[in-house]
Amino acid sequence: MLKGPTYRSAPFLSRIARNRLVVVGLVMAVFLVLLAVFADVISPRDPLAVNVAAALHPPNLKELFGTDRFGRDLLSRVIHGSRVSLSVSFSSVAVALVAGTFLGLISGYFGGAWDIAISRVMDIFFSFPVLLLAIAIAAMLGPGIENAVMAIAIVYAPFFSRVARGPVLAEREKEYIQAARVIGASHERILLRHIFPNVLSPIIVQASVTIAYAILTEASLSYLGLGTQPPTPSWGTTLNEGRTYLQLAPWISIFPGIAIMLAVLAFNLVGDGLRDALDPRMR
Amino acid sequence: MQRYIANRLLTMIVSLLGVTIIVFLLIRLIPGTIVEQMMGTEALTSYETVESLRRYFGLDQPVYVQYYQWITRVLVGDLGHSWRTAIPVLQFILSRLPVTVELAAIAIIVALLIGVPAGIVSAIKHNSPVDSLARIIALTGLSIPLFWQGTMFILVLSLAFRWAPAMEWVSPLKDLGANLSMMLLPGFCLGTASAAVIMRMTRSCMLEVLRQEYIRTARAKGLAERVVLIAHALKNAMIPVVTVAGLQMGYLLGGTVVVEEVFSLPGIGRLLLWAIYQRDYPSVQGTVLFVAVMFMAVNLFVDVLYAFLDPRIRYA
């Protein structure tokens, strides 16, 4: 099996490019980010503008996705929803990544009591189904966007810790690390300059897959009324509001769901492709 | 092996103690206790009434005293009584358990029935259009939010067949037909994401096994391709798949909250949500502990089964 730095460096990008599905995923993800950034410019209307006279309009040429019970334009709400969804999932994954990777590095590098303590605490989190844990934490912290971010971050941090710990254990024993130690390099320097780069690629793969899960989790929390609160146009919240009008105005329930699916699919495709490219065994 | 199991059980107990402490503290962090919930916001109640209620629920004690009192009873198998309904928490959980277990069981059957054949076909037709299609479908299956899928099912069926989710759950022992008519759809819905996971696992395991030399030998012996695939390859490829299917069982316990909510089924997941909203501390603590025990037990069982199925694996 081919492995090592020579294999990774140059052909890596071309391997990603050759995998058509990853390219599709990347294009979708970039489109989504642009949608979120330029939501104000792209949206035909203000997502919060209420017009009761135009309530529950089915999709038509002027209102492509129809309107909700307050006459708010659904297309604009779905476009703005990408902003909520991406900011929640990106920030929660960022927190989970930093915290989890840090713990994983410490746990693997120092070993001993550190490792036991950190691993045991992570075990507590692994002893619970992810979604249920997120729901429980969010319910306990109270509804709201910041608490949803916290809940998602707490739930996914252990995954980063586990992904980071493995390579550290393998790398720690290698001769160049011992050499660095003999020269008198500090722990911080060894961890950041020598060990961290080895952890980077599995962490990146984990991050892209976790973003997909985070989008799903945020939507589920908001759907249950625990995440983003109305009138903020989150996809999950809109779906929750559409429940009552399922028979009368099914479009409220259809479009945000498709948006969630496409967003999650985009990051799943990217994550899958990255894993294939970085781990030759998975092809 | 026995030492391994003993070791695992020990770590399990440590983790469970951790779970109890975290839940105990977290639920007490939520603003408002059951006393405020019972009083409502508008009621004019005297300080004495509030204090006596707090004393009644033991909320006037320091948290560690409350924890000690709770955990010593849990250790002898007493999860306490629900503050809201006065039903013993364990009985409360057991009355909801059949719904959740049945949902998870249907889901895992659906997942295996779809996932395994799809994975095999995908592996045999490696890199063909069929393979790509199956992979894309699987990834899409992983990307659909569970609650939305459920909602869409309800929408389509109600428009096409005037079907609506039943209002009251019927035990399969009482009326199997009525039970399945309300459980099959939610179970199917819950199972699709797992089907995708199992399909991907089956595919990659089959591919891995098909590259082995003993497969080449089997082919060289002149065995029919079907025999090679089923008797030789599949048998070994299924070992990790069994593990993943078992682990999915645990994750289904999480997904079931959402499905129960969408289809209004009285399972464990909705019980937990209800208990959190009601600040019914004993019910929250009991349910969380119960789910954690179930989840860990499934995981341990899967690991032991794995060693049993694959003689090469010996846990130290």
Is A124 close to B15, i.e. CB distance below 8 A? yes
Candidates A127, A159, A269, partner chain B, best to mutate (most B CBs within 10 A): A127
Same domain? B96 vs B224: yes
All residues of chain B having their beta carbon less than 8 Å from the beta carbon of residue A152 are none
All residues of chain B having their beta carbon less than 8 Å from the beta carbon of residue A272 are 139
pLDDT at residue B166, rounded to an integer = 67
Calculate mean pLDDT across residues A60-71: 82
Last residue of a domain, one of B74, B101, B135: B74
Last residue of a domain, one of B11, B45, B74: B74
Q: With an 8 Å Cβ cutoff, is A250 touching chain B?
A: yes
Q: How far is CA B253 from the centre of its chain?
A: 1
Last residue of a domain, one of B74, B100, B121: B74
How many domains does chain B fold into? 2
Cα angle at B61 between B58 and B64, to 5 degrees? 110
Task: Choose the closest CB to A140 out of B26, B151, B253.
Answer: B26
Mean pLDDT by 10 residues, chain B (316 residues): 82 86 80 72 68 79 85 85 87 91 92 92 88 87 89 86 73 82 89 90 89 88 85 84 82 84 88 85 88 86 80 64
pLDDT at residue B44, rounded to an integer = 63
> Partners of A125 in the beta sheet?
none
Instruction: Decide if B290 is inside a domain.
Output: yes
Domain of residue B216 covers 90-309
pLDDT at residue A15, rounded to an integer = 62
Q: Look at domain A23-42+61-282 and name its CATH class.
A: mainly alpha
pLDDT at residue B131, rounded to an integer = 87
Same domain? B95 vs B67: no
| Chain mean pLDDT for chain A | 85
Look at residue B81 and give its three-state secondary structure: strand
Q: Which residue of B has its CA nearest to A239?
A: B148
For the cut 60, the answer to whether the pLDDT of residue A8 exceeds it is no
For the cut 80, the answer to whether the pLDDT of residue A184 exceeds it is yes
Model confidence band, residue A7 (pLDDT cutoffs 50, 70, 90)? very low
Same domain? B131 vs B218: yes
Instruction: Decide if B82 is inside a domain.
Output: no
How do residues A45-59 score in pLDDT, each as one tens digit?
888 888 888 778 888
Q: Which of residues 8-67 of B touch A (CB under 8 A)?
A: 11-12, 14-16, 18-19, 22-23, 26-27, 29-31
> Partners of A67 in the beta sheet?
A73
Distance from CA of A233 to the nearest CA of B (A): 17
How do residues A84-121 score in pLDDT, each as one tens digit?
999 999 999 999 999 999 999 999 888 889 988 898 88
Cα angle at B119 between B115 and B121, to 5 degrees? 125
Same domain? B250 vs B305: yes
CATH code of the domain covering residue B189: 1.10.3720.10
All residues of chain A having their beta carbon less than 8 Å from the beta carbon of residue B132 are 21
Same domain? B252 vs B207: yes
Model confidence band, residue A279 (pLDDT cutoffs 50, 70, 90)? low
pLDDT at residue B167, rounded to an integer = 67
Q: How far is CA B108 from CA A150, B153, B316, in A?
A: 31, 19, 31
Instruction: Decide if B314 is inside a domain.
Output: no
pLDDT at residue B106, rounded to an integer = 93
* DSSP 8-state class, residue A195: I
Q: Which of residues 40-99 of A touch B (CB under 8 A)?
A: none
All residues of chain A having their beta carbon less than 8 Å from the beta carbon of residue B30 are 139-142
Is A121 close to B11, i.e. CB distance below 8 A? no
ipTM of predicted complex: 0.82
Q: With an 8 Å Cβ cutoff, is A1 touching chain B?
A: no
What percent of chain A clears pLDDT 70, i.e. is strictly above it? 92
Same domain? B125 vs B21: no
Distance from CA of B254 to the nearest CA of A (A): 5
Model confidence band, residue A217 (pLDDT cutoffs 50, 70, 90)? very high
pLDDT at residue B43, rounded to an integer = 60
Same domain? B122 vs B270: yes
Q: Are A235 and A222 in contact (CB under 8 A)?
A: yes
Same domain? B40 vs B189: no
Same domain? B159 vs B259: yes
How many Cβ atoms are within 10 Å of A141's Cβ, its own excluded? 18
Which two three-digit tokens encode residue A234?
């989150």
Distance from CA of B226 to the nearest CA of A (A): 24
All residues of chain A having their beta carbon less than 8 Å from the beta carbon of residue B145 are 216, 219-220, 223, 257, 260-261, 264
pLDDT at residue A102, rounded to an integer = 93
Task: Choose the closest CB to B139 out of A239, A272, A283.
Answer: A272
Indicate the domain borders of chain A. 23-42+61-282
Q: For residue A67, report the phi and psi dihedrals to the nearest 5 degrees.
A: -130, 165
d(CA B267, CA B190): 14
Q: Which amino acid is at B91?
A: Q
How many Cβ atoms are within 10 Å of A1's Cβ, its own excluded? 5
Is B18 close to A120, i.e. CB distance below 8 A? yes
